[in-house]
Structures are given as structure tokens and as C-alpha cells.
């Protein structure tokens, strides 16, 4: 039995990058959705509530799409 080290390295790099991208998208999505919450004693949020909600939904949908694509590759 031989190990294709190049392929194994490629899988490791792609899975590490996918983990970073999904984590960043979920983080940005949560920050975007947090723009809707009123801040009684803090500064004004950088995004309007509508823009924050839109950005949050897009980021979370992108993260969900990546996860679902990965699951479809595993199941198939």
C-alpha cells in the first residue's frame, strides 16, 4: 500500500481553508445580525439594522451552503 502524499497534503490544505472560511462567515453573520439589537449605552453600530441583517443572512447562508456541499460530497 502506498500513500499519495501530494493528495493527502491537498486535502489537508483544503479542509483547513474551508474550516477558516466557514468560521469567518459564521462570525461575520453573527456580527451582522447583532447590528439589529439596540445599544442603550454604547456607540451607534457601524451598520444599519437592515444592512446588518442582510449581511448576516448572506454570510450564514454562505456558510450553510459550504457545509451542505461538503456533506453532499461525503454522502455521494
- Would you say 59 and 35 are in contact if contact means Cβ atoms under 8 Å apart? no
Whole-model pTM over 0.95: no
Mean of all residue pLDDT scores within the chain: 90
Looking at residue 12, its pLDDT comes to 96
Q: C-alpha distances in angstroms, 63 versus 1, 8, 14, 51, 58? A: 37, 24, 15, 18, 9
Looking at residue 11, its pLDDT comes to 93
Tell me the angle at which helices 49-75 and 5-34 cross, rounded to the nearest 10 degrees. Answer: 150
Q: How confident is the model at residue 1 (pLDDT cuts 50, 70, 90)?
A: confident
Looking at residue 71, its pLDDT comes to 94
For the segment 35-61, what is each residue's pLDDT rounded down to a tens digit? 887 777 777 767 788 899 999 999 999
Grid coordinates belonging to 61:
447562508
Amino acid at each position: 500500500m502506498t500513500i499519495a502524499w501530494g493528495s493527502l497534503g491537498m486535502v489537508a490544505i483544503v479542509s483547513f481553508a474551508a474550516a477558516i472560511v466557514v468560521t469567518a462567515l459564521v462570525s461575520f453573520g453573527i456580527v451582522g445580525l447583532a447590528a439589529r439589537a439596540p445599544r442603550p449605552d454604547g456607540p451607534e453600530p457601524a451598520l444599519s439594522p437592515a444592512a446588518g441583517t442582510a449581511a448576516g443572512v448572506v454570510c450564514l447562508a454562505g456558510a450553510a451552503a459550504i457545509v451542505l456541499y461538503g456533506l453532499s460530497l461525503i454522502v455521494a
